[in-house]
Amino acid sequence: MKAVVSGLRERKRRQTRDRLTEAGMTLFLAQGFEATTLDQIAAAADISRRSFFHHFASKEDLVFAWQDSFCLALLDALVLRPADERPIDAAINALIAAVGDFDRDQAEALTRFVEETPALRDREQVKYALMEQALAEALGQRPGATADSLEIRLVAMVVIGAMRIAGENWRRAGDRARPDIYVRRVFDTLRAAVAEES
């Protein structure tokens, strides 16, 4: 049985992990991503350079830890959707729920930072692909769904893609409309654009 109260081991692990992300982000924001070396980060977090890689597989991963948590939130929100919802609606509603729970100021700052760093922009695309895959799997495991169907993969693709573009748009516009409204508007536009010509 796993300890209910996390043991000292796991606690310490989390601690150093957090120390790393904080030290890293501080340095990144101060001097830029590329200009910050792993040695600096390790030193600031009071850890050996080698041990860094016991917590993160790469320098980039330090930045994208948060996106993982958003992905998890999305999947959690998905299982709360009623079983009779179609995949697309379940996914959209889960997205709306997940996006509502997040610290938008922080997310925006981080995203702006990512945007202006080529290496991170690249890595972001990879993350989106992973999110899409995770969403597709989750949709495939819903009650009554056929795992790995074409429809499910297309829905995952569209939802993650729309999320990405909605985010860009939201940031660019600068207005702070409620994100759920934004998401809905994007999907309405999408439906209209894709629909068979009447």
Partner DNA sequence: TTGCAAATATGCACCAGGTGCATATTTAGG
Partner DNA sequence: CCTAAATATGCACCTGGTGCATATTTGCAA
User: 105 vs 197, which CB is nearer to a second copy?
Assistant: 197
Binding site for a second copy (CB under 8 A): 86-89, 122-123, 125-126, 128-129, 150-151, 153-155, 157-158, 161-162, 164-165, 168-169, 186, 189-197
Binding partner at 161 among DNA, a second copy, none, C-beta below 5 to 8 Å by kind? a second copy
* Residue 125 interacting with DNA (CB under 7 A): no
Find which of a second copy, DNA, none residue 59 binds, CB within 5 to 8 Å per kind. DNA
Binds DNA by CB under 7 A, chosen from 54, 86, 176, 178? 54
Full 3-state SS string of the chain? CCCCCCCHHHHHHHHHHHHHHHHHHHHHHHHCCCCCCHHHHHHHCCCCHHHHCCCCCCHHHHHHHHHHHHHHHHHHHHHCCCCCCCHHHHHHHHHHHHHHCCCHHHHHHHHHHHHCCHHHHHHHHHHHHHHHHHHHHHHHCCCCCCCCCHHHHHHHHHHHHHHHHHHHHHHHHCCCCCHHHHHHHHHHHHHHHHCCCC
**Of these, 26, 31, 58, 141, which contacts DNA (CB under 7 A)?**
58
Indicate the residue among 8 and 150 with the shorter CB distance to a second copy: 150
What residues line the site for DNA (CB under 7 A)? 3, 7-10, 12-13, 16, 36-39, 47-48, 50-51, 53-55, 57-60
